[in-house]
Structure 1
């Protein structure tokens, strides 16, 4: 399977300096973590992803009727309870008689979409292509976009048109080599959205998500962690991230040398630390996009890939590792090779 076209949608940019928030210390933490700009989507996630899909299809000169499947992953609160995001994107493209898969795995949706797309590719009718869609749109009634650990939650969407290896293309293409993920289910509650589900269905008029407990304080409260237990947990996060990256590399059929790391945009210190542990220079990562994009959840990876390929920072011949940590608690990684 290979990517023959990509595009993304980031609608309205805003700057951290202009944010009015009751917790100035948290805003200072975000600045220290490298954030400066973030994105808001004034419309729905359906509309945002639909725009990205139409742009990606137009680049490849592919018609909606040529799509054989849509695999869509989302992080954040959906437009409506129980709505199928993959079908929402299909509705924007007027698709019918099509396979769809809807993935809701937080940031790791950005990895799982590739595993499912590769599976569906084996059954794809001749002459058809697939769509891989990832998106995040924050519901600020339910969640403070400035309150998750050390990251600003951005709204954004990205789409890749994928085709079989034998599909004829002009120029270079990104070839999917494989993906892996693992979960430590003990920490499933770490990033849950507290309000709007069956246990706490209503958001009252007096509720303000900006006053929710933040980051490490919230984790320590959920799991009754003392300082040592919290440090052990943070060590586990890093170790499993490295473990899953090494696992997907070891299972690759080609030798991965001097890879380019595309990591979830979860903070400057986190990405720098991971690069150091993997012996990857930070200029061979998507770190420079952190201040530009913010943290768009599962869309971070494909947005970064699209931008870095477009800017020719990722070049033909490069191997690319995508890596993420997600609610679950889940770690995932995928490998691509950019080839003429």
Structure 2
């Protein structure tokens, strides 16, 4: 792929980190309620054929009304900790990436930390980069693990978009699903494992936004009446940003690691739209089988999407020690980013 000269104008590309780490365990929580395209067609002006052709999505999950994002996080966290053979008290940090936090205060990561019993862990929230928040969270965790006093970090990515989509809005109503996913990162003694390089970029845009509820437009009777607390999205703008930014970001990160996109073994990408994923892989010249797809059964699960793809590869034994992999996403703002990593076995160094 040839990069335009202006490519790096709004990106920051960096090298890897010296202290190696590994993904010791992953977990996913999916609410039991399934909403199919046929279900949506009863209340929205759409059809199963229209949704599949434009998104690749066939069904998605919906969180029960009495539950919140932290409940999904807890279930995913417990599964990931079991897989990593770690207890909550062994965690040094809990990072939650979400734009659908339980409430403005207190923080969702603190709610999760307390419920888990992660008594000595730092609690951190990564918000407002929407679907790209998971990239930011992993990069933050990777840097924390460079500190000799930190050995285990739990990263959670969860979104409950059903709480912020406008009823009857076909544009947003067909895309989004609710889910949470988790990854436990732990120090390892394997040289060369962990973060090889990264690329982060951003460019201000209001084409995907929730306009009300902040200091500029506080909650009022008017904002409630006009639906200002619902997600508004320009689908064409998202397509143009994603199909431009993701291939470029991946290429920059891979080259900073001394690789080409075709050299990367696995791609764990933001599960937004099958056409965006197909376009990105074709642009990069990467076979589709290197990028697991979960959006067909889960929809766009926001920050959780690329973690559900990672979990799919881990649970099916496809991610092996020494493999290289990319995690890449774009979210409202726009924020986008790519991490290039090398997988390792786990050992006692982070325990």
Kept after mapping to 2: 8 A contact 1:21/1:210: no
Say whether residues 1:326 and 2:331 are aligned partners.
yes
- Could you tell me how far apart the structure 1 residues matched to 2:270 and 2:174 are? 10
User: Does 1:117 pair with 2:141?
Assistant: yes
Change (3 A) 1:61 1:178: same
Of the candidates 262, 270, 273, which is equivalent to residue 268 of structure 2? 262
- How much has 1:261 moved relative to structure 2? 2.0
The alpha carbon displacement at 1:327 in A equals 1.0
Residue 178 of structure 1 is aligned with which of 197, 213, 235?
197
Range that drifts further, 324-333 or 9-18:
9-18
Q: Is the 8 A contact 1:141 1:203 kept in 2?
A: no
Partner of 1:78: 101
Q: Secondary structure at the match of 1:270?
A: helix
Offset of residue 22 of structure 1: 4.7
Q: Which residue of 1 aligns with 2:72?
A: 48
SS of equivalent to 1:102: strand
In structure 2, the residue matched to 1:98 is: 121
Distance in 2 of aligned mates of 1:148 and 1:295: 13
1:30 aligns with 2:51: yes
The SS at the match of 1:19 is helix
Report matched runs for 1:122-141 at 5 Å. 122-125=146-149, 128-140=151-163
SS in 1 for 2:314: helix
Q: Are residues 158 and 291 of structure 1, via their aligned partners in 2, closer, same or farther at CA, if it must alter by over 3 Å?
A: same
Instruction: List per-residue Cα deviations over 1:239-278 (Å, max 9, x = no partner).
Output: 2222211111122266761432222112121111111100
Q: 1:336 to 1:15 in 2, by over 3 A?
A: same
Please say if residues 166 and 172 of structure 2, whose CA atoms lie closer than 8 Å, have aligned partners that are also in contact: no
Closer, same or farther: CA 136–56 of 1 in aligned 2, 3 Å = same
Structure 2 residues without counterparts, runs of 5 or longer: 1-20, 346-351
1:17 aligned onto 2:38: yes
Instruction: Say whether residues 1:192 and 2:209 are aligned partners.
Output: yes
Shift of 1:148: 4.8
- 1:90 and 1:124 map into 2 onto residues whose CA distance is 22
Shift in alpha-carbon separation, 1:202–1:312, aligned structure 2, 3 A:
farther
Equivalent pair of 1:41/1:137 in contact (CA under 8 Å): yes
In the other structure, the counterpart of 2:282 is 276
SS of residue matched to 1:249: helix
TM-score for the superposition, normalised by structure 2: 0.79
Count of equivalent residues: 316
RMSD: 3.1
Q: Partner of 1:59 in structure 2?
A: 83
Q: Can you give the 5+ residue segments of structure 1 that lack an aligned partner in the other structure?
A: 168-172, 220-229
Q: What does residue 310 of structure 1 align with? A: 315
Q: From the superposition, tell whether residues 211 and 20 of structure 1 become closer, same or farther in structure 2 (CA, over 3 Å).
A: farther
